[in-house]
Structure formats: C-alpha cells, structure tokens
Amino acid sequence: MSNRRVGLWLIGACGGVGTTATLGLAALSRGLTDTTSLVTALPLFNGIDLDGPADFVVGGHEIRQAGFRATAAELHQRSNVFDENLLAGCQEPLAAWEANVRTGTLLGAGPTIAKLADRPDANKAKTARQAIEQIKADLVAFKETNKLSQVVVANVSSTEPPFETSEVHQSLAKLNAALDGSPLPASSLYAYATLDLGLPFVNFTPSLGATCPALEELAVLRHTTVCGKDGKTGETLMKTVLAPMFAHRNWRILSWVGHNIFGNRDGIVLDDPINKSSKIKTKDQVISGVVGYKPQTLVSIEYIESLDDWKTAWNHIHFKGFLGTKMIMQVIWQGCDSLLAGPLVLDLARLSLFAQRRGEVGVLKHLACFFKNPHGVTV
Amino acid sequence: MSNRRVGLWLIGACGGVGTTATLGLAALSRGLTDTTSLVTALPLFNGIDLDGPADFVVGGHEIRQAGFRATAAELHQRSNVFDENLLAGCQEPLAAWEANVRTGTLLGAGPTIAKLADRPDANKAKTARQAIEQIKADLVAFKETNKLSQVVVANVSSTEPPFETSEVHQSLAKLNAALDGSPLPASSLYAYATLDLGLPFVNFTPSLGATCPALEELAVLRHTTVCGKDGKTGETLMKTVLAPMFAHRNWRILSWVGHNIFGNRDGIVLDDPINKSSKIKTKDQVISGVVGYKPQTLVSIEYIESLDDWKTAWNHIHFKGFLGTKMIMQVIWQGCDSLLAGPLVLDLARLSLFAQRRGEVGVLKHLACFFKNPHGVTV
Amino acid sequence: MSNRRVGLWLIGACGGVGTTATLGLAALSRGLTDTTSLVTALPLFNGIDLDGPADFVVGGHEIRQAGFRATAAELHQRSNVFDENLLAGCQEPLAAWEANVRTGTLLGAGPTIAKLADRPDANKAKTARQAIEQIKADLVAFKETNKLSQVVVANVSSTEPPFETSEVHQSLAKLNAALDGSPLPASSLYAYATLDLGLPFVNFTPSLGATCPALEELAVLRHTTVCGKDGKTGETLMKTVLAPMFAHRNWRILSWVGHNIFGNRDGIVLDDPINKSSKIKTKDQVISGVVGYKPQTLVSIEYIESLDDWKTAWNHIHFKGFLGTKMIMQVIWQGCDSLLAGPLVLDLARLSLFAQRRGEVGVLKHLACFFKNPHGVTV
Amino acid sequence: MSNRRVGLWLIGACGGVGTTATLGLAALSRGLTDTTSLVTALPLFNGIDLDGPADFVVGGHEIRQAGFRATAAELHQRSNVFDENLLAGCQEPLAAWEANVRTGTLLGAGPTIAKLADRPDANKAKTARQAIEQIKADLVAFKETNKLSQVVVANVSSTEPPFETSEVHQSLAKLNAALDGSPLPASSLYAYATLDLGLPFVNFTPSLGATCPALEELAVLRHTTVCGKDGKTGETLMKTVLAPMFAHRNWRILSWVGHNIFGNRDGIVLDDPINKSSKIKTKDQVISGVVGYKPQTLVSIEYIESLDDWKTAWNHIHFKGFLGTKMIMQVIWQGCDSLLAGPLVLDLARLSLFAQRRGEVGVLKHLACFFKNPHGVTV
C-alpha cells in the first residue's frame, strides 16, 4: 500500500462488472479474499509501485436505480457467486461508495440502453457539450471531496450500437467545433470529459470510447492515457491462446464456430441485434488475425435467462491435418462474466494510474493483451 | 529438393506412425498431397537447406510381419483415413521401401511387446553387444546399398516398460564394460548402434532411448546428435498451450483431469499397466511444470477398440477465479494419432539431418517444443 | 424377399438422403452391407410380410443435373462415408435407376431451391394442374415400364419456405376448383399427383406435402396412405428421448439450447432464413410438448461448409433439481445426416407399402415415432 | 398431510445424501422450497395417501462425529448448494433430529469406512447378534419416544467392499444359526434388525443390505418390505434412458465409455479399489441389459477433491449406423450428487411406508426404476 489516495470512477458503475470490481477492492483491502485472478498480483509485478486495494475510493455514473449492495446481492442470489460472509464484511465500504454514484447521460447511448434507465434525476443534456460539462463536474467533485491525487475512469457499461466515425472525429479542432450538436456516442462523451480533465481512460467495452484521432489528440494534449477496447475475459482469450497452436503446427483451420449463451443484463442489451453486432465484430476477427487466412467463422451470442451471469461457450474447431485428414477440437467454457471481467478492470486501473505517474501519454499499447480489439495495435 | 540422397530409418517401421511418415514422404514427393501439418514447411523455414521429400529413402526395423502397404490399407479401412487415390498412387515406393525393412530385436523390449513379434527370422541376440552389432550391420547395409550421404534413425515403436538407470549408465566406459550382459532396454540398443555409427537419433517415444549420460557421451564422441523424448502430438500439446493461460491470468488450477481413449496397436501395448506408466508420467508432468504448483491431476489412457487410430481425449479443467469463484473449461480432442505424429517425425528427421550437416553434436535442445519430456531441458 | 416388384419414387432423388436410401437398397440386395440402422430389420418385425431390398426399383424427380453415382461419389469424397468397395459393387444398379429419374417441378418451390435447378428440360408447368399432370405421367410410366405392383413416393427434397394454408385447402372440392392457379407449394403438388394415382405418400421433410384436409380427403378417396412430416433423424430424436427423463424425475427444465452446424446442400437451402424457419419450428416444439410447460428454448441451424454431411449439434440443458439447485446436461451429437435419414426412408417405404396392402387408408398415425411433427397426431 | 406421525431412520445419516433428505423434509414442511425433483410429487401420485413432509421425524445411525447442521453448512460452503436463508430457516428441526442420531456399527463395514469413524461411543458389538440387538434397541427407542406409527429405514451410507454370499445366506434358519459369528456385512446387519422389527428397509447403496434369500424370507415373515439396490441418480439414469434409443433405431453400439469424477466423502471411500468395484459393477451392466449384446464398455469413478459434491461425467458413445458409418454421441453431466439422491430417498421412504400400509410384503419390484441394480428384477 502506498500513501496515495486514488479514485476509480466506473461508467455503468452498478452493473455486474463494476460491482464485482468494487466488491473486490473492498474485500482485498479488508483481507477477506486473496489476489487470485489479479494479473497485477503476479510475481512479475513485484517491485512496481502500483496502488494497493486500500488506496482506492470508488465512484461512478449509472443510469439505473441500482447500488453496489443490491447488485452484489442479486449476483449472489441469482448466479450463486460471492460467499455470504465476504458480502457481509464489505457492506460498509459498498454503502459509502454508493453515495459517490451520479446519474449518467443517455445522450448517444441508443434506445435499448435508454430503456433500462430509471433514475429520477435523469441527465438532461441535449448537446455533447452539456453532457461533457456535467460529467466533468461530477468527476471534479469526486476528486476534490475525496482528496484524491489521481482518478482513473473505466467504462464498464453495456455495449452501444455501432458508431461510424467521420471527418469530424479526425481532429480535436473539428470535434470541438461540433460539440453543440450530438457528434459522439455516450461512451465518447465520457471519454472526452475524462481526458479533458487529464485523467486516464480505460474502455473495457466494444463501444467507441476514445478510439478516434480527435480523442487521442486530446489525451496527449492533457498528458493522460487511454487504453481499450473490449476486455478479453473468457472465450476470446481462449481463442487467442489456441489459434497460434494451429498456426505453429501448420494445421489448417477449416471452420471455427463459437456459440455463447448467457443471461445477465449485458445479455438483454446484446439481444438487440444492433448492439450485438458491435460485440460479434470484435469477437470474430481474432482468428484470421492470428492464422493469416480467413477460415469460415461463426460467432453467436444469445440471451438465455436461466444462466444469469454464467457465460457458457461451445467452440467447435474443425481443422485439416496431414494427408488431408480432418480432425476436431471442441472447447466448452463455463465462466462467470463479472468475475472474469472485474479483476481485469482493477488491473487496468492500476496500470493506467502507474503509467500516468511515470509520464506516459496517449494510447497504452503495451496493454493490448487485455483487449479483444486493442486500441492502437493492428492484429 | 537438394542433390543429396538421405535415409530415414524407422524403429517400429510398419506401425501406424512409421507407415504414415513413410506414406507422407511418398505422397509429398509425388505431389499427391500438400504440406499441411509439416512444421518445417512453414514460411519460417524458408531459406534453410532442409532435405526435400524426394531426397529420402526409407527403411527400418520391425518385429511383426507387417508392411507399409498392409498397414496403410488397414488404417484406411479401420480408421477411415487416407484417400484411396493417394494410397493407390504411392504403392510403388511403399513396396520398394518395404524391401528395406529388417527384423528388430526383442532384447529388453518387455513381454507385452514381445507378444506382438511374429517374424520368422527373429533376432537371436542374447547380449546387448550382439544386438547392437546386428543393428549396426543392418544400418550400414541400408546406407551403402542406397548410396546415402546421411541416415537418421527415428524410434517410433511402442512404449517400453519403465527402465531405471544406474551407475552403469553414467559413462560410456562403464556401459561398454557391461555390454556382454543386458544392461539396456531395446530402445537404447538401437540408440547405441545408431550413435556409434555417427548417425543422428530421434526418440519419438517415452522409452529410454539415448537419455543417459553414457549415450550422450557416445553422441558427442561420434559427432552426431540426439533428440527426444515422446513426441508432443495432440492432447499434451493442447495442455502446454492452455496451461500458460491460467498462469498468466493468475487463475488457480484446482484440478486437471484428462481421459484419453483410443484403439490402435499402441493402445494394446499401453493396456499393460507397466508400459502405460511410462506414458502417463510424461503426460502428467507438464501442467505443474508450467504453473509452478501441483494441482490435482489425473491422466488415464484406455484402449477402446472401436476408435482405432482416433485418439479422443476429454479434459476437465477446474479453476478458481476472482473472489473464490470456481469455473470450468472442458476440451474434447478428436485427432488421429498416426496422422498427428507422422509429420512430426519427418520434421525431426529433416532438422536432425540439417543439424548434423551444420556440425552440431549432442542433444538438440532447441527441438524441445516437439516433445512431451524434452531431452536435456528442465521444464 | 417376396415375389412382388415394388417401386420407390424419391422427390429430390439425387440429394444426399435419396442417394443414401438408393445406395442402401442396392447394397442390401447384393449382400454388401448388413441391416444396421433399419428399424424394420429389428426382430420386432419378424413375420411381417415387408418387401425385401431386392424387390425394389428406384426412380424419382430431381431438379439438378445430378445422378446417384455422382452424389454417392461426392459424399464419399467430401464426407468420408461409404466404403469404396461397397460403392464399386453398386455402380450397376445405381446407373440403371438413374435412368428412371425425371425432371421435377419448380412451381411453388421457392427462390432458394429454384436457384439450384440446372436441368435442361426444366418442367414448364405454369399451373398446379399442369404440374400435377406431368408428375402423374412420370409416375405412371415408371410403374408400367417396370411392371410394379405398387409404388411409394417419398419426399426427401430440401425444405421449402413456410406455407400458410387457407380456406381453399379445407376440402378437395375447393382445392380442385383452384388448380388452374398456383394454390400449392411444390411438395403438395407431388403429394396430390401421388395420392390421385392411389399411391402411398411419405413426407420426410417439414414442407407442407399432404398435410391439409383436402389432401387427406384425396388419400381416403383413392384408398391410399400418407405419413409425415420431417423425419426424426438425430438431434430431435435425442430430445424426445431425453425430455421425458426430466419430466419423470420432476426436474424443471430452465432452458434448452440446441446449436446445429452442418455443411450439405440442405444447409445451403436452410441458410435462407425463410426456409430455415420451417425447420426450426418442427425442431423447437418437441420439448414443451413433452414436459407440459414452456422452458426457454433456442434452436439454431447454421451452414458450416467444412462439415459437409456431418451434422454436429451441441445441446445445453439447464435444469433445476432439489432445493433449487441448478444442474447441467450437455449433449454433443456427431452424426452423418444422409446416413441417419436414408434407412428411415426405406423403413417408411416398406411400412407404407405394407399398410396399403393391408387395406389401411388415410394418415398412418402409428408411424408418428418416425417424425418430428407427426401428421395426424397432437404432441 | 395425514394425521400420522412416521419416522425416517437413515443409515449413514449425516452424510451428504442423508443430510440433504433431512434438510429437504424440513424445508418442505416449512414451505421454504417447492417439490421439484420429488417424483412422488408428480400429478401421477395425486390421490394416493402418501405421508406429507410434516408427518416425518428423522433419526439415524452414524459412525462419524457429524451432525445435520454441520454437514449442511459444509455442503453449502464447499459445493455452493443450499440457499443460506433456507439453511437458516431449517436449523431448528435439524438440531432436534440430530439428537435422534445414534452410533452405528463398524462390524463388517470394511477398513476404509472404519477409518472414517471417530465417535467416542463406538459400537462394541463383536458378533452379528450383538450388533443387531443394539440396532434394534436404537430403532425401538426412536419409535417409542417419538410415538411413531411406522418407521422406514434407508441405507444411505458409503459403499462397502463386495461381499460374496454363501450357503448360510440361503435361508433364515441357516443365517440365524450363524449370528454368533460375523456372517454379514454392516449393511445387512442393519437390514436384519430393521426387518426383524417389521419395518420397511430401503437400500440406496450397492452394498448387500437385504439382497439374499435369508433376509427376503425375514421380510415376508415379519410382514414388511424391502427395495434396492443403488439409487439411480444421474449418469446411470441417463444411460438407461439413452440405451433404448440405440436399440430401437437398430444402431449398433460399438463402445460406451463413462468417466465420472467427483470429490465428496463417497469419493474417498470409492478411491479404495475394493469398494469401487462394487459400484462399477452396478453402473456397468445396464447397457448390455438393454441392447442385448455386449459392446465394449468402460466405467471409471475418480476422486477429484475440488469438485466436492458435483459429480461430473463424460460419456462417449461410439456407434455404427447405416452402411457401416461410425458416429458419436457425447454426454456431459454436471449434477450435484446429494441433491440428486436426497429426494429419491424421500420418494422411496414414502412409497415403502405406503406399501406397508397397503399390506404388501417382500421385495417391492415395482420400484425397480429407482435403482441401478433392482432387487428382485432381472434386467
């Protein structure tokens, strides 16, 4: 633990991923769990001055009437995760951090996400500029009230519809000139506000976030960092691990089918085919990136309510070996989505804060291994 | 293709692996198949002066009345592999190379392997020295008759019972003094003869082969090379690919169960619990070697006749993620054993011949990635 | 074997299912294979006067330039089925029966199926009446030329788009009055012609066929039989076998997900979402029919070219046991579609011919167990 | 609910199965759970005068220092089953029923089970007669103290080593003459005592229990009932459901491999190869019983600690279809052993009590569907 006090601000704070990251910080700082699944707890990172769990204060934006305690209880009850003693021991910090949560913006979030919104004090911003100003005000208040030396912002909200960038996103000057309209999806409004305050931004989702030249320019201008996008948590991680095996053994992948089923709130949002298309795109490109040709691939993501937060994926890999012989490898993955993603958010927060202290600016390309579609890296 | 003529001498020549490697050479040199599954055909190896398929002549030792053509036909008929046109197009070289096959030794092969022997001209050697002399005579005749510039010997026979080395295997002098008894298993008799003639030796099995100080000394003395042991063909390859994922994500492996079923002749030999123990040992150690602790592991190999050469493996990996959450990954592998192993034998033959031409001597440690239990490398 | 000569007329004759049924008849009558997978070869049917394989002559309608020999060779080459000796031994009858194949109608077959048509002598029928007359002429010629005592017609063609019946299909009189227009899909044109000639009709597909009151009336009028629809070959068979287990043990099915992948010509047709919807409907209803409530179900069928005729299905069954405990059963099915369906076509042909000889008329309800969506039976 | 008060006496009371059955009774009678997984709660049983959950009082024999509350807490903590609110709401009856538990006998239980014994007041019986008398005294006290109209005894203890019956077990007279020695395994001592008191006996394990002529004779003499043996809970149930599908479709099963892994206390006992052999025998015979021939079968049961009570089974079924085509069906079962078995114990208790009230005596053959190796029924 350092003597620093730092902040973790979560966009979509009280969803499964945000709540798990938050509960994890509370449990780690109270000694109620071990560091399993935290990459930054590996011996490799010994001797690096990372922030400890107890150094963090949590806050965030949320569009639903939800709190860390209620979401944690719901995950426990429906998905059968979190020991009840661990939950009981963390109620105090969860309650305190809930008080830091502010209402998020719906501007540019798309209709499926907007349908989930139920907070009474909805953000009324009509232009990008208004939304950004409100977000900045929330972030500044969080930092000052809690006397934080640094704050990192992580987007862990549901996937937005695809967004096509245009000329206006190619430079900061052009983007600034357009802010009285609505030139950005919600994820990018958060990114803009974050970067404009000189804070590091982590995009754990497939949404646009800071992935355009204008916002990269802003990050450099304000001496801060960005990384993203779409945390590589389970099934895609497995793909990036397995695909090189086929390449190095000179086996020809004929087809790779991945069927994903799960039942959490992200699943409801991804049941909208528009939102789903953003997600499938980042999941589907990894294989041809590794093997250098395009085998037939199929990725489906389906909402099956009874699975709750348990993402189950069946992968069927058909490949050709010596003398034309076709063989098959199948992988069945049964992982809990929030529990896979939560610790990676903490890793990225710690590494982003550390990078900023070291003076790094712009895209943190060395964090590519954490993402399905790494920002700034061609795969 | 070079202007060289080289020999590939196979111990257990007419088993599934030896036959597949041989058929592959014939098919490749006649343009009847592509180079899928040959590691040495990857672009990485472009520009290296490896021997081409048409440069090879094949011969070997065998203890059964079996030929390349009969085994290939049997694999085609029972395991449903090898296109019949490919088979038809290769009958001529297979027939020619069958004529190069000589009767192998049973000295030190163990009773389960001895039961398979049915050639009328059984090797009558009573001492290690006699067996080695006979093997050397066969190798010299093969090399001279075929006017070969180099010959590489690859052991692709069935797994022997475990063999404990002792003081006598610690130096060449001590071993030489014991050769009028029976101080070596069959695989090491072949290794001795090969190395003493200055030929490279590849041990594709878990048997002892050249894995003792005395034989390593002999390899250096005769300016030749050795590599082994136990080719990493399918399920274990997959383990060494997946285990690092768990390590790098700081997930705790709780248990790793691997059940293997298959029905080829190796399966009959491995149904003897003594022979099986040699195999399970090399399969079972890879995980703890990667992750640095010992999760509960279980490896079974069972003979299921109907599967013939199709090795089917179910892997159940139970691991602990964040906040103590247990998750599961399962892998089902359906591969054809001989087709997985055959091309690797060709890779190792080509790389061993090349290494010898470059003047390398002793254990070829850089070939560790081809083996379950790499000779000369601590995992 | 009887002294009868009977005919099997296949709609979609030279597809995978039709070709397999035909090859099977040839192989069985020549003693080149055993009766495995023929339900009517079970001891249960001993003593019933069914037609033997050698009693059959085969013919059919087809819209593509394809023959039994070419399709059988293609299945052998691409899907790795049929022993080449069996194929060689059946070339003669396959050639003879190919000569009986006539060009089918495209009227009402839908655009996706029409795209596959490439025979030069395309059926030019513009009205249902014309198409029916042409079909009848083909059937009569087949029966007379071959001196057959009976002919059974089996629809084994690709799945048509869904077809909504209306008032016109409620009685034969109304239907007859509409035949100068196009009131029927192709499958029902074949059914009409068949029944009007007093021949039994088997609908092995999910298409409409004879499933409407008007055509049932025609069957009774002409003293012949119908059965269907959609042969229960693999994955759905497994569902109807497993679902009762959950019901009888009072386990609550929470969700049942079935992902099917395969790569044959049917797959190309089913890749059209319209045609696919017909198929998914019959696959998806079986579970709630058995358990009496509607768990969340999901059925997907996807075309994966490399699998050819190998239908691979992953089923994930999530269920609740005692004290609210959620458990999981997963089933992976790897079957070859044509080989599963072909013998059932022969069973249904034999049972339909036998039923007609016994004097049964109308819907053969006792054959319900052969179909996903049994005609005349409420599930 | 009736006006009766009945008793359920469990041998191995505080193991996972006994505890789950007990917790289930408590939860059902307090309305804290629904009747999912109770076969006797199906509509089929409406109108039959079965005892309701609130009619039961629980007691039993146990050789370990364990109580229902501790075992339930351990299952909750290690296997992640039982909602904590359900547990909390049942503490009172669990505590009350724990007071009814008495020390069991180790006579004839075998060394592996004896190793688990740690109660201070170990049963000191040296002869079968002494052990039986002690068991009877415990049962009589339970019945009288709790004013019970009937008591059913269910053996849910760990599997004993195989026991070979001999001449002495062929009649009650011969057995009685031998009781001053040790002619019976522990499970049969309990059975003798139970039956001699005229109480129904349920053998949920593969142990001998009442499965010999002498004890069947005793059951009839005392007007009571027996049923067994080895409850068909999960993997074997699935086999008996699937095997008929292969038979009725005339597919030839080539091999059926079932690998079972689990980590509860039964697993420790089954890790002793002697005890395991009893279990594998009853699991392995079901398939040939159904299909009428003997395909190669393999059943393994392995103790994998991390799985706790979650029995995971991989089944690989290799079968031959039409024209010799080999196909594969794989089933992966992930069920919680105690939760599968517990409700069946309640079903069998209710049905045994009802049968006795109706005046049935001897072996209850109609309960065969509940058992792997049904007593009194040839499969």
CB-CB neighbors (< 8 A) of A252 in chain C: none
- Coil/strand/helix, residue C58: strand
- DSSP summary character for residue B46: T
Residue B23: C-alpha distances to residues B18, B74, D3, D123 (Å): 9, 13, 81, 70
Q: Closest residue of C to A259, CA-based?
A: C259
Q: How many CA atoms lie within 13 A of D192 on its CB side?
A: 25
* B78, B80, B264, B307: best to mutate for the D interface, most D CBs within 10 A: B307
Is A316's CB within 8 Å of C261's CB? yes
State how far residue B70 is from chain D, nearest Cα, in angstroms: 21
pLDDT in tens, D320-366: 999 999 999 999 999 999 999 999 999 999 999 999 999 999 999 99
ipTM over 0.85: yes
Q: Which residue has the higher pLDDT, D266 or B261?
A: B261
Average pLDDT score over residue span C261-285: 73
State how far residue C179 is from chain D, nearest Cα, in angstroms: 40
Numbers of helices and strands, H then E, in chain C: 14, 11
State how far residue C346 is from chain B, nearest Cα, in angstroms: 26
pLDDT in tens, B196-241: 999 999 999 999 999 999 999 999 999 999 999 999 998 889 999 9
CA-CA distance, A324 to B6, in Å (whole number)? 26
Is the confidence at residue B1, as pLDDT, over 60?
no
Q: Which residue has the higher pLDDT, A377 or C37?
A: C37
Is A330's CB within 8 Å of B329's CB? no
* B36, B79, B84, B310: best to mutate for the C interface, most C CBs within 10 A: B84
CB-CB neighbors (< 8 A) of B305 in chain D: 255, 296
- In chain D the first and final C-alpha atoms are separated, in Å, by 36
Average pLDDT, chain A: 93
Average pLDDT, chain D: 93
Residue D112: predicted pLDDT: 81
CB-CB neighbors (< 8 A) of B77 in chain C: 83
pLDDT tier at A1, thresholds 50, 70, 90: low
CB-CB neighbors (< 8 A) of C340 in chain D: 321-322, 327
CB-CB neighbors (< 8 A) of A324 in chain B: 33, 36, 83, 86
Is B238's CB within 8 Å of A27's CB? no
CA-CA distance, C264 to C74, in Å (whole number)? 11
Chain C residues interacting with chain A (CB cutoff of 8 angstroms): 80, 254-255, 257, 259, 261, 296, 298, 300, 302, 304-307, 312, 314, 316, 318, 326, 328, 330, 332, 334
Average pLDDT score over residue span C139-167: 96
State how far residue C81 is from chain B, nearest Cα, in angstroms: 8
Q: Closest residue of B to A318, CA-based?
A: B334
Q: Closest residue of B to A233, CA-based?
A: B249
Neighbours of C136 (CB within 10 A): 16
Is the confidence at residue A273, as pLDDT, over 80?
no
The beta-carbon neighbor of B306 closest among D306, D312, D318 is D318
pLDDT in tens, B304-353: 999 999 999 999 999 999 999 999 999 999 999 999 999 999 999 999 99
Return the beta strands (E) in chain A as ranges: 6-11, 56-62, 101-103, 150-155, 201-203, 225-227, 252-262, 296-303, 310-320, 326-336, 362-363
The beta-carbon neighbor of A80 closest among D77, D80, D332 is D80
Q: Which one, of B61, B48, B52, B5, lies nearest residue B25 by Cα?
A: B52
- Amino acid of residue A293: Y
pLDDT in tens, C25-64: 999 999 999 999 999 999 999 999 999 999 999 999 999 9
pLDDT tier at B379, thresholds 50, 70, 90: low
Return the bridge partners of B310, or none: B336
Residue A121: predicted pLDDT: 77
Residue B236: predicted pLDDT: 85
Residue A90 corresponds to which tokens in the numbers above? 């963390």
Average pLDDT score over residue span D201-219: 96
Question: Are D27 and D34 contacting, i.e. CB atoms less than 8 angstroms apart?
Answer: no
Is the confidence at residue D379, as pLDDT, over 80?
no
- Coil/strand/helix, residue C262: strand
Angle between the N-to-C axes of helices D16-29 and D68-79, in degrees from 0 to 180, rounded to the nearest 10: 100
Residue B118: predicted pLDDT: 87
State how far residue D2 is from chain C, nearest Cα, in angstroms: 23
Return the bridge partners of C317, or none: C256, C329
**Which chains are adjacent to chain B, needing at least 3 Cβ pairs under 8 Å?**
A, C, D
- Amino acid of residue C248: H
Is B84's CB within 8 Å of C80's CB? no
CA-CA distance, A17 to A161, in Å (whole number)? 19
Is C316's CB within 8 Å of A312's CB? yes
Residue D309: predicted pLDDT: 92
D9 phi, psi to nearest 5 deg = -110, 120
Residue B103 corresponds to which tokens in the numbers above? 């009767």
Is the confidence at residue D295, as pLDDT, over 90?
yes
Numbers of helices and strands, H then E, in chain D: 14, 11
**Which chains are adjacent to chain D, needing at least 3 Cβ pairs under 8 Å?**
A, B, C
- Using the CB atoms, write b or e for C150-173: b if 16+ within 10 Å: bbbbbbbbbbbbbbebeebbeebe
Ranges of H-type helices in chain D: 16-29, 68-79, 84-89, 91-98, 111-114, 128-145, 172-177, 186-196, 213-221, 235-248, 265-270, 273-284, 286-291, 337-358
* List of residues 6+ apart from A42 with CB closer than 8 A: B248, B250
Question: Among all chains, which residue has been given the structure tokens 């790569």?
Answer: C263
Residue B119: predicted pLDDT: 87
pLDDT in tens, C101-126: 999 998 888 888 888 888 877 677 89
Q: Which one, of C328, C317, B246, lies nearest residue A340 by Cα?
A: B246
Is the confidence at residue A61, as pLDDT, over 70?
yes
CB-CB neighbors (< 8 A) of D73 in chain A: none
Question: Among all chains, which residue has been given the structure tokens 């044109």?
Answer: C189
State how far residue C137 is from chain A, nearest Cα, in angstroms: 45
CB-CB neighbors (< 8 A) of C321 in chain A: none
pLDDT tier at B278, thresholds 50, 70, 90: low
* B86, B237, B323, B339: best to mutate for the A interface, most A CBs within 10 A: B323
* A235, A276, A316: best to mutate for the C interface, most C CBs within 10 A: A316
Residue B114 corresponds to which tokens in the numbers above? 């001895």
Secondary structure element (H or E) that encloses residue B282, with its range: helix B273-284
Residue D338 corresponds to which tokens in the numbers above? 């105690």
Is the confidence at residue D278, as pLDDT, over 80?
no
* List of residues 6+ apart from D62 with CB closer than 8 A: D12, D13, D14, D101, D102, D103, D104, D119
pLDDT in tens, A181-238: 999 999 999 999 999 999 999 999 999 999 999 999 999 999 999 999 999 998 889 9
Is the confidence at residue D90, as pLDDT, over 60?
yes
Q: Which one, of B320, B323, B327, lies nearest residue A25 by Cα?
A: B323
Return the bridge partners of D368, or none: none
pLDDT in tens, A118-155: 887 767 789 999 999 999 999 999 999 999 999 999 99
State how far residue A120 is from chain C, nearest Cα, in angstroms: 33
Q: Which one, of D176, D210, D178, lies nearest residue D194 by Cα?
A: D210
CB-CB neighbors (< 8 A) of C332 in chain B: 332
pLDDT in tens, A290-304: 898 999 999 888 999
State how far residue C160 is from chain A, nearest Cα, in angstroms: 24
Neighbours of D156 (CB within 10 A): 28
- In chain A the first and final C-alpha atoms are separated, in Å, by 36
- Angle among Cα B346, B351, B356 to the nearest 5 degrees reads 130
Is B304's CB within 8 Å of D326's CB? no
Chain D residues interacting with chain B (CB cutoff of 8 angstroms): 80, 254-255, 257, 259, 261, 296, 298, 300, 302, 304-307, 312, 314, 316, 318, 326, 328, 330, 332, 334
The beta-carbon neighbor of D237 closest among C35, C245, C342 is C245
pLDDT tier at D28, thresholds 50, 70, 90: very high
Q: Closest residue of D to C244, CA-based?
A: D241
CB-CB neighbors (< 8 A) of B33 in chain A: 322-324
- Angle among Cα C260, C265, C271 to the nearest 5 degrees reads 55
pLDDT in tens, A96-118: 999 999 999 988 888 888 888 88
Is the confidence at residue A379, as pLDDT, over 80?
no
Is D305's CB within 8 Å of B255's CB? yes
**Which chains are adjacent to chain C, needing at least 3 Cβ pairs under 8 Å?**
A, B, D
Average pLDDT, chain C: 93
B151 phi, psi to nearest 5 deg = -135, 130
The beta-carbon neighbor of B80 closest among C77, C80, C332 is C80
The beta-carbon neighbor of C36 closest among D42, D83, D252 is D252
pLDDT in tens, C165-199: 999 999 999 999 999 999 999 999 999 999 999 99
- Coil/strand/helix, residue A6: strand
CA-CA distance, D14 to D23, in Å (whole number)? 11
With 0.90 as the threshold, say if the pTM is over it. Answer: yes
pLDDT in tens, B165-195: 999 999 999 999 999 999 999 999 999 999 9
Is the confidence at residue B121, as pLDDT, over 80?
no
Q: How big is the A-D interface in CB pairs under 8 Å? A: 5
Question: Are D320 and D251 contacting, i.e. CB atoms less than 8 angstroms apart?
Answer: yes
- Using the CB atoms, write b or e for A125-144: b if 16+ within 10 Å: beebbbbbebbbebbeebbe
Q: Closest residue of D to A332, CA-based?
A: D332
Angle between the N-to-C axes of helices D68-79 and D91-98, in degrees from 0 to 180, rounded to the nearest 10: 130
Is the confidence at residue B378, as pLDDT, over 60?
yes
* D245, D323, D367: best to mutate for the C interface, most C CBs within 10 A: D323
CB-CB neighbors (< 8 A) of D319 in chain C: none
- DSSP summary character for residue C40: G
